[in-house]
Amino acid sequence: MTIAPSLSRQQPAASVHPGPLLKVEDLSIEFGPKGTAVRVVEGVSFTIDTGAAVGIVGESGSGKSMTSLAVMGLIPSPPGRIATGRILFEGVDLLGLPRSRMPEIRGRDIAMIFQEPMSSLNPVMTIGDQIGEAIKLHQKMGREERRQRVVELLKLVGIPDPERRLGAYPHQFSGGMRQRVMIAMAVACNPKLLIADEPTTALDVTIQAQVLELMHKIRRTLNTTILLISHDLGVIADICERVIVMYAGKVVEDADVKTIFRSPKHPYTRGLLQSIPRLKDENTRLYQIPGMVPLPGTIKQGCPFFPRCPDRIDKCARETPPLLEITPQQKAACWVSAGATS
Amino acid sequence: MLYRLADAIPTIWLVLTLVFIAMRILPGDPAIAALGDGALPEQLAEFREKMGLNVPIWQQYFNFLIGTLTLDFGKSYMNGAPVLDLIARNLPYTIQLTVAAMILGTVIGIPFGVLAAVKRGKLPDSGMRIFSLVGYAVPDFYLGALFLIGFALNLRWFPINGAGSGFFDILHHLFLPALTLALVKAAFIGRLTRTSVLEVLGKDYVRTARAKGARENRVIYRHALRNALLPLATGMGLSLLATLSGSVAVELVFNRPGIGRLLIQSITERDYGVIQGGVVVFALMVVFVNLMMDLLYVVIDPRIRVK
Ligand SMILES: Nc1ncnc2c1ncn2[C@@H]1O[C@H](COP(=O)(O)OP(=O)(O)OP(=O)(O)O)[C@@H](O)[C@H]1O
Ligand code: SF4
Ligand SMILES: [Mg+2]
């Protein structure tokens, strides 16, 4: 029997690349036929340093999933398309790569966990085969060695009795267990960047806590850089040290988690902070930001948050606020917080 | 599985009864059909006596059911040969034809359907649409006749009738009739595959496969196709049954021996025993096909296996 190499020895030390691991610049994503296309993500820019854990937060429909799918090169196309921007991974523009190069990067350098644990596993393949495939696609390894590694991964994500569970099918697992399998699959090749798109949204509260604990463990043991997406600032604060707030396809605030909790600059972020569930006062009704996220394409000019904003001034209706640096740790796209008064 | 077999019994019984009734309702006297218009009354009476046609109708029905249970369908009115022998002699040809058409149709239809789905809206997809329209619109006997005239009569690449003997000769005889049935089938299977693959390609687990770094070919053949086969299996079962009935026309056109031709012949001759025997065999094949489909599901879909 071969002894599988320990998880931390899987890859040589990360290549030394100066600058951030991921740099997204002016990313815009459109849906629909050219001419009548609707922009669901517009002018999004952010960076993620190696080893960091960054969150993206925003209400449903704000473009979080599309932004992360763009990084993976998985925007469903047609009808979707990346209209502008660059996605630099270790300094290389992924959008400029030939299509055939992306599969090498997916799963090996950048991996992703999806929002829907129930439907994201192939129902006719055993989970052992599905995790094994993630390894097989990127690493030369004997059958038995690979099997050992899959068992190790299942152990890492906390699936009891992994040897026996290798041959089980997804329908034999609960939602939480399936998400663990997805995580095992995503970290199988020890990716440099792990994107987790609302990994806990579809799960029960207790299971959510367990999966978040697992994310912590992954970060501790594998040193993976993490991009965590959630509509819950509480979840993000638990894992990340920085957070990007998205609203209607745009970044409206980008700051340290600590800074954002202490002094949020964008009115939308303040609304989000007020709507975090607190365990103590369970019976008080949760605060909800009044109004709804505008449908993509309906805001033609001015600040996208204008219709719902408690602080709005006249200027907001006419001009779209750019994302401005307020302090070196904090950027926000709001006229009022930038000092405008009329 | 045994339970499923027991399930099929009422169906078979119903088919038997319908056939029996249909045979008696159809105009035409089997004795006259067998002996000719000029037969004497005594000869007719003797014939009816021998063939069990002179007893009350309910008893004929009863005898027929008992006979079916013991696989004894009596003798052919026309040539006196046991019905079972006639069927046994013809059945292999029909099976050959159906199986060959099925294989050919699947081998053409599935890749074509996958191609149409993957190149959606492009040339292969339009090709698929035209092909399937033609496949639906052209009746198989017509297509068969075209092939017969074109490739067998004019070009002389293929024999014009019979079933041949010896492996290669059999294949040579089989090709045109099987192709006739297969094209119609491929049109159907191709269309079904296209729909099914298109649906599956939008599933979350296909996105997961891509996220792992699987290349398109792997995504399609490893992840999508196997899931697409689930709905396809039902369609294939239906299509196999359609092939069975299509084989009747094709056997006639190509003048091939087989159950279909035997049936048609015996219907024109009011050969009750042979008709009943033939229909029972057809019904059994249908039941068998359905059972195989159920089995296939169990093989493809692990969710059924566990229950
Ligand atoms: N196939 C599509 N065609 C047109 N619009 C689409 C398509 N897929 C997504 N969109 C739109 O893109 C916008 C952004 O969607 P996205 O999935 O990125 O939101 P999200 O922030 O991840 O929300 P959620 O919290 O619900 O996951 C939405 O308004 C959605 O309606
Ligand atoms: S720019 Fe104006 S409308 Fe927009 S968030 Fe700031 S205050 Fe509100
Ligand atoms: Mg989403």
Q: What percent of chain B has pLDDT over 90?
A: 8
Do the strands A110-113 and A193-197 form a parallel or antiparallel pair, or are they unpaired?
Answer: parallel
A112/B204 Cβ within 8 A: no
Domains annotated on chain B, with CATH: 2-69 (no CATH), 90-300 (1.10.3720.10)
At residue A104 the predicted structure's pLDDT band, cuts being 50, 70 and 90, is very high
**DSSP per residue over B141-168, as a string?**
HHHHHHHIIIIIIIS--S-SSS--SSHH
Name the closest-CA residue to atom 4, ligand 1: A31
Cβ contacts of A125 on chain B, cutoff 8 Å: 223, 226
Residue B222 to chain A, least CA–CA distance (Å): 9
A96/B contact by beta carbon, under 8 A: no
At residue B73 the predicted structure's pLDDT band, cuts being 50, 70 and 90, is confident
Do the strands A80-89 and A92-93 form a parallel or antiparallel pair, or are they unpaired?
Answer: antiparallel
| A32 conformational bin, left if phi > 0, alpha if psi -120 to 50, beta if neither | left
Among B55-64, B131-140, B187-196, the range with the most confident prediction by mean pLDDT is B187-196
Rounded-to-integer distance, Cα B139 and Cα A230, Å? 58
B207/A103 Cβ within 8 A: no
Rounded-to-integer distance, Cα A207 and Cα B266, Å? 70
CA distances to A68, A106, A109 from A138, in Å: 22, 9, 10
Mean pLDDT of chain B: 82
A322 neighbors A246 (Cβ within 8 angstroms):
no
Distance A214 CA to ligand 1 centre (A): 27
Give, for A73, the enclosing helix (H) or strand (E): none
B211/A74 Cβ within 8 A: yes
A105/B205 Cβ within 8 A: no
Distance A11 CA to ligand 3 centre (A): 31
Cβ contacts of B222 on chain A, cutoff 8 Å: 133
Q: Which residue of A has its CA nearest to B226?
A: A124
Instruction: Say whether the peptide bond before residue A5 is cis (omega within 30 degrees of 0).
Output: no
B301/A123 Cβ within 8 A: yes
Per-residue model confidence as pLDDT tens digits over B232-276:
877 787 788 778 778 888 888 888 888 888 888 888 887 878 888
Cβ contacts of A105 on chain B, cutoff 8 Å: 213
pLDDT at A1: 39
pLDDT at A4 > cutoff 50: no
Give, for A128, the enclosing helix (H) or strand (E): helix A127-136
Q: What is the ipTM of this complex?
A: 0.86
pLDDT at A22 > cutoff 50: yes
Mean pLDDT of chain A: 87
What three-state secondary structure class fits A324? strand
Q: Which residue of A has its CA nearest to B213?
A: A103
pLDDT at A2: 41
pLDDT at A9 > cutoff 70: no
Among A61-65, B65-69, B130-134, the range with the most confident prediction by mean pLDDT is A61-65
Block residue for tokens 């819950």: A232
A120/B208 Cβ within 8 A: yes
* Cβ–ligand 2 contact at A312 (below 6 Å): yes
Which residues 6+ apart lie within 8 Å of A171 measured at CB? A123, B302, B303, B306
Using a 10 angstrom Cβ sphere, with 0-12 exposed, 13-18 middle and 19 or more buried, the burial of residue A70 is: buried
Query: Which residues of B make CB contacts under 8 Å with A?
Result: 202-205, 207-215, 222-223, 226-227, 300-303, 306
Distance A237 CA to ligand 3 centre (A): 18
Do the strands A53-57 and A38-48 form a parallel or antiparallel pair, or are they unpaired?
Answer: unpaired
Ligand 2 atom having least distance to the Cα of A317: 3
Rounded-to-integer distance, Cα A244 and Cα A227, Å? 10
B302/A74 Cβ within 8 A: no
Block residue for tokens 């029996």: B20
Q: Which of A62-76, A275-289, B94-108, B281-295 has the lowest mean pLDDT?
A: A275-289
Average pLDDT estimate for A331-336: 91
More confident residue, B236 or A58: A58
Could you say which ligand is closest to the alpha carbon of residue A66? Answer: 1
Ligand 1 atom having least distance to the Cα of A231: 25
Q: State the sign of the Cα–Cα–Cα–Cα dihedral A244, A247, A251, A252.
A: negative
Q: Which two tokens stand for residue A153?
A: 């991964």
How far is C-alpha A299 from the chain's CA centre? 25
- The amino acid occupying position B222 is R
Residue A143 to chain B, least CA–CA distance (Å): 18
pLDDT at A49 > cutoff 70: yes
pLDDT at B104: 92
Rounded-to-integer distance, Cα B249 and Cα A123, Å? 41
The DSSP code for B29 is -
Distance A59 CA to ligand 3 centre (A): 9
Output the pTM of the full model: 0.79
A79/B contact by beta carbon, under 8 A: no
A116/B302 Cβ within 8 A: no
Rounded-to-integer distance, Cα B298 and Cα A278, Å? 48
- The amino acid occupying position B82 is P
Cβ contacts of B226 on chain A, cutoff 8 Å: 124-125
Do the strands A80-89 and A242-247 form a parallel or antiparallel pair, or are they unpaired?
Answer: unpaired
Block residue for tokens 């152990």: A155
B174 neighbors B163 (Cβ within 8 angstroms):
yes
Distance A43 CA to ligand 1 centre (A): 16
Name the closest-CA residue to atom 1, ligand 2: A334
Strands (E), A199-277: 225-230, 242-247, 250-256
Per-residue model confidence as pLDDT tens digits over B164-223:
777 787 778 888 888 888 888 888 888 899 999 999 998 999 999 999 999 988 999 889
- The amino acid occupying position A263 is S
| B121 conformational bin, left if phi > 0, alpha if psi -120 to 50, beta if neither | left
Which residue in B206, B212, B306, B307 has the most chain A C-beta atoms within 10 A of its own C-beta, making it the best mutation to test that interface?
B212
Rounded-to-integer distance, Cα B240 and Cα A103, Å? 39
* Helices (H), ranges, B138-258: 140-147, 167-201, 204-212, 216-218, 225-253
List all residues whose CB is within 6 A of at least one atom of ligand 1.
A 31, 40, 58, 60-66, 76, 79, 115, 231, 296
Q: What percent of chain A has pLDDT over 90?
A: 51
